[in-house]
Amino acid sequence: MRPSRLNARTVLLLIAEATVIFGAIVGAVDLRFGFTAASYELVERHGLLKAGMATAFCLAAFYLFDLYDFVVMHDRRELVLRLVQALGLAWIALALMFYLFPYLVIGRGVALIALPLALTLMVGWRVSIHWFLGHPDFGERILIVGSGNLAVEVAREVLDRPDAGYRIVGFVGSIQTYWEGEFSNRGQTYTPAKTVLFTDATSSACGTATTAVGPFYCPEDEKVYLDLAFFQDLTTKLGAQGGPFAQGYVVAHEYGHRVQHLLGQLGQSQQTGAQSQSVRVELQADCYAGVWARHAAEGGTLVEPTQAEIAQAIDAAGSVGDDRIQRQTQGRVTPDSFTHGTSAQRQKWFQTGYSTGDPARCDTSGAI
């Protein structure tokens, strides 16, 4: 599957990689003959023109192997494999051409040096680009607020084009649409909560909150507050693998608190501890997030999550466990100060919601 059009980013990538390949060939000539003889080979014997022709062969091979289609090129091992295949094909084609037209050879022995050199440079370059495009510091975060066909199209376009540099951080429309339907099926009414996005700090009816608080639900004004910096901290500070569904889990957890509020389950306990009401409330919200994940693709509001994406959500749940955070920040675990539950508990209750898809199974009043 090759890109149907060359966007600006692909053109810039082509230019950069042409420079890398061309530089590898010129460097190979220099290594083979030394600087003085290399200058003669490249200038007097039209070596630069021949290097440009060889570069064009390599770029054509990259295109044939879908190396400019970032929908395909999302796995590093696949990327390296295709680079090897593409360069191998290009070198075979060049060898055939040199056999038929010997006067096009840049210099004897140059190809044997240029091939491993070009492969090493291209692997390093592409792995760097792969890391750059996937790094949270270099992407534009997107929160999809809404549902219906337009939201589906936006979600699919973003997920299918990681090269665009956009990352979905939440699926508010899908979450609230699901709960509206679930409440309706039970003869109840779900009133959607408004969403407030913030960075650094914000004011709510529950008080002023900073990034240290992270995303939260305020029952006083019935709004969900999403700290955009938290989605970056989830991977850089808390050690989660990341990914769209890891971030979706965080958003779904906060809307789980909205569900609890409407059902009278939220409570206002200030007690802490492994068996406290605070922990039970948070674990139930994790379970509700799992229930949503189970039904996320129903109604067409979101593409169906893969097992890898569900694993992202489970991993994210583990990364925000009280024991893991305390161990990272203070070097020891103090269960008496737990407010959200351990990593294992948070993963367990998310999986309970996901495996059953039934909100009634999210009763955390007993053993947790």
Q: Give the DSSP per-residue string, 300-337.
A: GSSPPPPHHHHHHHHHHHHHT-HHHHHHHHHSS--GGG
Pairing type for strands 201-204 and 207-210 reads antiparallel
Q: Would the pLDDT of 1 be above 50?
A: no
Which residues, in sequence order, are bridge partners of residue 195? 224
Sign of the alpha-carbon dihedral angle for 289, 291, 297, 299: negative
Distance (Å) of CA 212 to CA 199, 227, 228, 344? 11, 9, 12, 23
Task: Quick: pLDDT tens for 274-283.
Answer: 999 999 999 9
For residue 73, what pLDDT is reported?
A: 56
Quote the CA–CA distance of 34 and 87 in Å, as a whole number.
Answer: 25
- Residue 256, token pair as written in the block: 């789980």
Q: Cβ(302)–Cβ(296) under 8 Å?
A: yes
Q: Average pLDDT in the 262-280 region?
A: 87
**Confidence band of 133 (pLDDT split at 50, 70, 90):** low
Q: Would the pLDDT of 77 be above 60?
A: yes
Sign of the alpha-carbon dihedral angle for 340, 342, 346, 352: negative
Q: Cβ(85)–Cβ(174) under 8 Å?
A: no
Q: Average pLDDT in the 287-293 region?
A: 94
Q: Cβ(148)–Cβ(174) under 8 Å?
A: no
For residue 139, what pLDDT is reported?
A: 60
**Confidence band of 117 (pLDDT split at 50, 70, 90):** very high
Task: Quick: pLDDT tens for 163-212.
Answer: 556 666 556 677 888 999 999 999 999 999 988 888 888 999 999 988 88
Q: Cβ(22)–Cβ(55) under 8 Å?
A: yes
Specify the higher pLDDT residue, 5 or 237.
237
**Confidence band of 68 (pLDDT split at 50, 70, 90):** confident
Collect all residues with Cβ–Cβ distance below 8 Å to 264 and sequence separation of at least 6.
none
Q: Would the pLDDT of 5 be above 60?
A: no
Task: Quick: pLDDT tens for 17-26.
Answer: 999 999 999 9
For residue 216, what pLDDT is reported?
A: 94
Q: Which residue has the tokens 């956009």?
A: 166
Residue 55: phi and psi, rounded to 5, are -60, -40
In the chain, what percentage of residues exceed pLDDT 70?
83
Residue 257: phi and psi, rounded to 5, are -65, -35
Mean pLDDT lowest among 44-53, 99-108, 146-155, 309-318? 146-155
Q: Would the pLDDT of 14 be above 70?
A: yes
Q: Average pLDDT in the 283-297 region?
A: 91
**Confidence band of 4 (pLDDT split at 50, 70, 90):** very low
For residue 130, what pLDDT is reported?
A: 73
Specify the higher pLDDT residue, 244 or 323.
323
- Give, for 259, the enclosing helix (H) or strand (E): helix 244-263
For residue 152, what pLDDT is reported?
A: 64
> What average pLDDT is seen over the chain?
84
Q: Distance between the two ends of the chain, CA-based, in angstroms? A: 48
Mean pLDDT lowest among 178-182, 228-232, 265-269, 326-330? 265-269
